[in-house]
Chains A and B, each alone.
Chain A
Amino acid sequence: MATKKKRMPNMQNDSWVVIAADSAIDTQKHDSEPAFVRLRNPVTDAASLYMLSGGDVQLFEVKAFEEDFHSWFVGQTVQRDGRLLLVTPMDPLYLMLPYLVKVGKEGKFQPLDQVVMDEDFPGCPRLLSCTRALSSLHHIAEEKEVGGVKFHRYSQEKTMNWLKKKVERTVTVLKARNISVGEGVKSTTYIRVKSESDYRPEDFLRYAHGILSEYLSEDLSKALLKHLQLPELTSPKEPEPPSKKRKLSELPVEAEEDYTKFNSADFARKPPKKMTAAQKSLAKVDKTGMKSMSSFFSPKVKAEKK
């Protein structure tokens, strides 16, 4: 180009591309606008972004679809932030639970507005305005009314039952949407064409539990797993089971020569070779439960020296 295009300085991003349910932005019933709000994430215990519709009627979670190297063309401008934000309805009870659980340890009945409070998150009490919040509390807490004032106490038993129902509803959707829930090979490149009947009921339960656990504290997640009667999975298995060893002779096995004699001071590691296509595919795959090829072969038989 004869005159090199001037690069626009990167501006602070002030717009995003969002997909949201109509209910999120419906301002007909209330004068106020929907608002993004930071609240405590039950899983991480740190701040996450949520949204409350006008009048705090409904709670929504905010997720971002994010991949490398994306930007948006919006009209005639380029928006550097290439994420796609998704705003979806969320049950406010999930966010209220941690507070109830914490206070529940004391075993006392308390008024809700004294329970759902957070120093770090002043927007927290707004959850109580959600339509679903107060009417659904009985799913997770025992209620008592004294002098026109409602008191609540966290109930693990009720919560477990409520969560189990959530799990079951999730399983129904997983089946209806044909989501792959198998514990086997989870390759990002391999598209499974299994039908629902190829999975065990346990697979669906575990998967649904996994999704729900994104909204629960670790303790609750573990308790739910027990309640569903699913054993805890151990951490990833050993990469290889111990290979079969057969002793062929009573003589001690020794190195035939000193292999270190080839080492030198400037012995440089070869740069990692580029992986073949097969190795690349293998790298993408979850190998829990898979045996390595070498485990199928016993070590080479060494000829005995005379």
Chain B
Amino acid sequence: MPAVMDLSPFESDNSVSCRLASEIPDVCRTEDCCLGIDEAGRGPVLGPMVYGICFCPVSKKQELKDSKVADSKTLNEVERENLFQKIDESKSYIGWALQILSPNTISTSMLQRTKYNLNAISHDTAIDLVQYALDSGVQLKEVFVDTVGPADKYEDKLSKRFPGIDVTVRPKADSLFPIVSAASICAKVARDRVVKGWSFSEDMGDVEADYGSGYPSDPKTKAWMLKYLDPVFGYPQFVRFSWSTAQTLMDSKGVTVHWDDDDEDGEKGAQRQNNKSMLAYFSASAGGKDQKSTHQTHRFFTERRLKSLDAL
């Protein structure tokens, strides 16, 4: 493994969220710093979403730009690794921190009763990382971040949350501000490594590694999901259950599931519980003339779901 990014805290339990961070460069504690925030893996249906921050003294902005770490048009994994290597080599003035949000964390947050949506998760994670930097003694004066939701609202929110810090929220921030690009590199490298080294806690045998891009629109990804869909338990935790692609596939290819608290047509629900359906009160034949043949079991038994048997 080239550069130092110790993922073992996450790998020990990849069902929860995990923070990783570099050492804080001394100079960041004494000089005014700028900080960039970016994420990786927001759109895919597989694997974690990673939020990254990168910070360095404002005085070192030019040096950062010159090191070409800012070249965020780099798409391929190897080149990103190389850039992260450079960042690591510049540890005397560049620091970074990551929050790895496991797919399980994403699924459960988005599916919990009081829904915690992806934008909210994103905002909170970014805020937590900035706070972490502050708590670690970084002298933050400027923060640059790509937009999540409406840019001006997000800028307002962050400005209020961090008074005294100059917050800039822009779309495509990673191409505008080198420090954001650096954060983007860290986040992407982390995601790539986590995904590559994913350890399936489920008993899967040999897992087909080729799942395409991981994006829900990718037919290769969909085929992979279908292959590893268990009809009862759904997917391995590598998959984000909260993604509509995942749910649609489960609905169509998994076993039918009846959830008691689903909204159910009143008539069916009543029949299911052997209760008198509401419609019975409106039928013309409520007279009960020939109720001799149908004995109504006393509610003591029906309420307790007790029935007689005529055979085993």
Chain A interface (Cβ < 8 Å from any Cβ of B): 1-3, 16, 36, 38, 41, 43-44, 46-49, 61-69, 85-86, 179, 186, 188, 207, 210-211, 213-214, 218, 235-236, 238-239, 272, 274-275, 279-280, 282-284, 286-287
Determine if B292 and A218 form an interchain contact, defined as CB atoms under 8 angstroms apart: yes
**Contact flag A2-B310 (CB < 8 Å), given A63-B301, A186-B299:** no
Choose among A48, A179, A282 the residue that contacts B308 (Cβ–Cβ < 8 A). A48
B contact residues around A282 at 8 Å (CB)? 278
Mind listing 7 A-B residue pairs with CB under 8 Å?
A65-B304, A65-B306, A67-B305, A68-B272, A235-B291, A239-B281, A287-B278
| Nearest-Cβ distance from residue B241 to partner chain A, whole angstroms | 17
B contact residues around A207 at 8 Å (CB)? 300
Choose among A213, A235, A280 the residue that contacts B286 (Cβ–Cβ < 8 A). A235
**Contact flag A2-B205 (CB < 8 Å), given A186-B299, A235-B287:** yes
Closest B residue, CB atoms, query A280 = B266
Does residue B135 face the partner (Cβ distance < 8 Å to A)?
no
Determine if B298 and A210 form an interchain contact, defined as CB atoms under 8 angstroms apart: yes
Q: A43-B295, A211-B300, A275-B263 are in contact. List 5 more A-B contacts (CB 8 A).
A: A1-B205, A179-B300, A274-B265, A283-B278, A284-B269
Closest A residue, CB atoms, query B310 = A47
A44 to B296 Cα, complex, angstroms = 10
| Nearest-Cβ distance from residue B195 to partner chain A, whole angstroms | 19
Determine if A62 and B266 form an interchain contact, defined as CB atoms under 8 angstroms apart: no
**Contact flag A63-B298 (CB < 8 Å), given A239-B282, A274-B263, A284-B270:** no
Provide the B192-212 mask, 1 if CB < 8 A to any CB of A, else 0.
Answer: 000000000000111110000
A contact residues around B204 at 8 Å (CB)? 1-2
Number of interface residues of B (CB under 8 A): 44
B contact residues around A36 at 8 Å (CB)? 312
A68 to B235 Cα, complex, angstroms = 25
Determine if B265 and A64 form an interchain contact, defined as CB atoms under 8 angstroms apart: no
Does residue B1 face the partner (Cβ distance < 8 Å to A)?
no
Closest B residue, CB atoms, query A238 = B286
A236 to B281 Cα, complex, angstroms = 8
Determine if A1 and B228 form an interchain contact, defined as CB atoms under 8 angstroms apart: yes
Closest A residue, CB atoms, query B263 = A274
Determine if A49 and B309 form an interchain contact, defined as CB atoms under 8 angstroms apart: yes
**Contact flag A48-B305 (CB < 8 Å), given A274-B265, A286-B276:** no
**Contact flag A38-B310 (CB < 8 Å), given A2-B206, A2-B207, A283-B278:** yes
Central interface residue in B227, B282, B303, B310, by most chain A CB within 10 Å: B310
B240-290 contacts to A, CB under 8 A, are 258, 263, 265-267, 269-270, 272-273, 275-278, 281-282, 286-288
Determine if A214 and B286 form an interchain contact, defined as CB atoms under 8 angstroms apart: no
**Contact flag A275-B308 (CB < 8 Å), given A2-B205, A207-B300, A235-B287:** no
Does residue B307 face the partner (Cβ distance < 8 Å to A)?
yes
Determine if B263 and A66 form an interchain contact, defined as CB atoms under 8 angstroms apart: no
Choose among B208, B266, B295 the residue that contacts A283 (Cβ–Cβ < 8 A). B266
Determine if B312 and A49 form an interchain contact, defined as CB atoms under 8 angstroms apart: yes
A2 to B209 Cα, complex, angstroms = 12
Does residue B311 face the partner (Cβ distance < 8 Å to A)?
yes
A189 to B301 Cα, complex, angstroms = 16
Determine if B208 and A2 form an interchain contact, defined as CB atoms under 8 angstroms apart: yes
A189 to B267 Cα, complex, angstroms = 16
A24 to B269 Cα, complex, angstroms = 37
| Nearest-Cβ distance from residue A159 to partner chain B, whole angstroms | 20
3 nearest A-B pairs in the assembled complex, by CB-CB distance: A235-B288, A210-B298, A283-B266
A contact residues around B6 at 8 Å (CB)? none
B contact residues around A85 at 8 Å (CB)? 309
| Nearest-Cβ distance from residue A85 to partner chain B, whole angstroms | 8
Does residue B119 face the partner (Cβ distance < 8 Å to A)?
no
A267 to B205 Cα, complex, angstroms = 57
| Nearest-Cβ distance from residue B194 to partner chain A, whole angstroms | 22
